[in-house]
Structure 1
Amino acid sequence: MFIILVLYHKIRHKINQKLIISNRKLLLMLKKFIYLLIVIISILVTNINPIFALSLEDRINQYPSWQQKILLPKPEKDLIFPDWFEGKWEVTSILKEQIAPLAPKFQTPGFEQNNEYIDKKIQFSVKFIESSFYPQQDNFVPQKINKQIIIIADRKFNSLSIAQAYLGIDNVEKVVINPNNTTEQITKFRGENELISTVIGRQQENISEKDFITSEVTRQFFRRPNSVYLNLVETTTKYHLINSNLIKAKQFTAIYLSPQDPDYFVAFDQPVALYYYTLELKK
């Protein structure tokens, strides 16, 4: 930004020295300045956001040296899982590590309390179900023929199951998927508390026949009767198929402050909390 200001003041100085310059020349100078400004901003943006070019596997390999949030494509469809995910699974989740990269300067609310979950087994059920998918609209091919059967996560069931496992059945009332926006869901808690989660970025990678990676960035809005808390959450998970009844996974979660947070300028796009879990899915 300093370079842009210097260029601006140099051009302004020249204009002041030559007030008799023709309108045509002045317009040309302004066009050149605008073009140069666009080029500089493009370079700056490219340097600020190198994470966009990384594969998800590279992202995992860089953990915990995550200096900024990942940029994922805007979700246009749900995550599509390999066929070996289909069915109901009993999950054992273990928090192996948590890191506060900006401590002691800054820590997220509740970070210290999460120590009680380290190496503790949390168990819950998840489902992966069949769904219909129409890859392309073709006027010459009937929908029934063009239809594909895919495997997706049962987000309503899974979210409720996970929330109740961590917070208690009595503390989590229900999960509602927005019928007008399937990327948004609302988790209702006791006492008029609710969490509104919206997926704003999503990507998946098939590494091999037995390895699959997913990543989502979610905007979270936690609302209480007298307060609100906003943040962004990145969840990147690598699954490995052991056999038809067992899947093991490594899950990496990063918390980022929302630009609306009063402490945002302490961290900018750096993660303020990192979590590493191991997952075991059994049938």
Structure 2
Amino acid sequence: MNRVLRYTYTLRNHFKRNGEIYAETTRREIVQTIGSSLLFPSLANAVDAESINLQNGLLEARVLENVLSPPPYQLEGSDIFYPSYFNGKWDVFSTTTEVQAPCGVLLFGGNSTYARAQAEVNTSLSYKARFISNPQGIIADREYNVKEIARAAMGENAVLDVPLSTPNKVSVLLAPNGANQILKADLLTLARRSELINKCEFHCSEVVRQVIGPAKQSSNGMPGGGARSSLLKEIETASLYTAVKDENENVNEIRCRQRSATFLLPSQQDPMAYKMWEASRGRPIDVRFYDVVYTKRS
């Protein structure tokens, strides 16, 4: 899947494209189960103002300093709630600006995988996103966003169904262009954090475990194809949003600096996968940076 289902849900997952499982969709994710301006982490309520400011720099530091240690935050809050100016529909233009292999090309996936990833630097993906209101605040419309990102990255008819879409789990049935099987992707949110910096700056992040493999059967009861085992990885997608106000204080554009970091998981069933996890020493094997621009739809 060409650069996607990373929202922040975001969307760097592993989807079959041109005959291969391609890592990349977490970020926009589909994945954009990210975002919260109305709720502060509970810890912030128990510390002084100086500590709150320090805590609020955590996500910015992880992105701008490219911190390679695992994220220290946990599942902070029931969801991420965005500032009110996110409400509505947006045209999104996301450009890959950098791809890194902190643990070397071999752990990244090999020379050909690394070369394909590098070829995406300075390329862009356009899609639509929607944020909606609920009793607690503004949230990402996950089902809508997942569908739009997947269609933009994998083809107009790539999404067969979204049987489940909640803050902590999204399930998608996919048939990417060029694939000879139907895939099921489960996105499990393990950690999330949001930081309201000021009236125009909002930072948020999620850690999602992506379990992607052949579907047992398609929506019409036919076999999904292939007996390939599921792929397990965890991806942290951190987004630093800045609202751009016009002369009337309206927000019609939001700019975002985004970083995704993919971490390996140990496997007791696969000795090679376990050795690769040991070799990574807790560092991400795949780090990507994006510049994202949201433009309000009329």
Is the structural similarity TM-score above 0.5? Answer: yes
Structure-1 residue corresponding to 2:244:
242
Report the Cα distance in structure 2 between the residues aligned to 1:58 and 1:95, rounded to whole angstroms. 20
| CA-CA distance at 1:106 after TM superposition | 2.0
Report the Cα distance in structure 2 between the residues aligned to 1:54 and 1:71, rounded to whole angstroms. 13
Is the deviation greater in 86-95 or in 253-262? 253-262
- Is 1:85–2:86 an aligned residue pair? yes
Report the Cα distance in structure 2 between the residues aligned to 1:53 and 1:240, rounded to whole angstroms. 15
- Is 1:60–2:94 an aligned residue pair? no
Report the Cα distance in structure 2 between the residues aligned to 1:166 and 1:209, rounded to whole angstroms. 33
Query: Is the 1:156–1:176 Cα contact (8 Å) retained in structure 2?
Result: no
- Is 1:165–2:147 an aligned residue pair? no
Is the deviation greater in 240-249 or in 254-263? 254-263
Structure-1 residue corresponding to 2:133:
130
Q: Whose helix fraction is larger, Structure 1's or Structure 2's?
A: 1
Is the deviation greater in 236-245 or in 169-178? 169-178
Structure-2 residue corresponding to 1:272:
285
Structure-2 residue corresponding to 1:198:
188
| CA-CA distance at 1:57 after TM superposition | 1.9
Report the Cα distance in structure 1 between the residues aligned to 2:256 and 2:200, rounded to whole angstroms. 11
1:106-255 to structure 2, matched below 5 A, reads 106-108=107-109, 110-133=113-136, 150-177=137-164, 182-190=167-175, 191-224=181-214, 225-243=227-245, 244-255=251-262
SS of residue paired to 1:270: coil
SS of residue paired to 1:266: helix
SS of residue paired to 2:118: helix
State the Cα deviation string for residues 61-106 of structure 1 (Å, max 9, x = none). Answer: 311xx23211222254110100010000000000010001111342
| CA-CA distance at 1:218 after TM superposition | 0.4
Q: Which amino acid aligns with 1:199?
A: T
Report the Cα distance in structure 2 between the residues aligned to 1:54 and 1:206, rounded to whole angstroms. 10
Q: Which amino acid aligns with 1:159?
A: V
| CA-CA distance at 1:192 after TM superposition | 2.5
Between the two proteins, the alignment pairs up a number of residues equal to 212
Structure 2: which 5+ runs fail to align? Answer: 1-54, 176-180, 215-226, 246-250, 268-272
Report the Cα distance in structure 1 between the residues aligned to 2:184 and 2:114, rounded to whole angstroms. 20
What is the percent sequence identity of the aligned residues? Answer: 24
SS of residue paired to 1:58: helix
SS of residue paired to 1:77: coil
| TM-score w.r.t. length of structure 2 | 0.67
| CA-CA distance at 1:53 after TM superposition | 10
Query: Is the 1:75–1:200 Cα contact (8 Å) retained in structure 2?
Result: no
Report the Cα distance in structure 2 between the residues aligned to 1:131 and 1:198, rounded to whole angstroms. 22
SS of residue paired to 1:106: helix
| TM-score w.r.t. length of structure 1 | 0.70
Structure 1: which 5+ runs fail to align? Answer: 1-51, 134-149
Structure-1 residue corresponding to 2:6:
none
Report the Cα distance in structure 1 between the residues aligned to 2:96 and 2:285, rounded to whole angstroms. 17
1:248-263 to structure 2, matched below 5 A, reads 248-260=255-267, 261-262=273-274, 263=276
SS of residue paired to 2:117: helix
Q: Give the alignment's Cα RMSD to 1 decimal.
A: 2.0
Higher RCO structure, 1 or 2 (CA under 8 Å, sep 6+): 2
Report the Cα distance in structure 2 between the residues aligned to 1:170 and 1:103, rounded to whole angstroms. 36
Query: Is the 2:241–2:256 Cα contact (8 Å) retained in structure 1?
Result: yes
Report the Cα distance in structure 2 between the residues aligned to 1:111 and 1:212, rounded to whole angstroms. 32
Query: Is the 1:71–1:201 Cα contact (8 Å) retained in structure 2?
Result: no
SS of residue paired to 1:245: strand
Query: Is the 1:218–1:232 Cα contact (8 Å) retained in structure 2?
Result: yes
| CA-CA distance at 1:162 after TM superposition | 1.1
CA 1:182–1:214: 2 relative to 1, 3 Å? closer
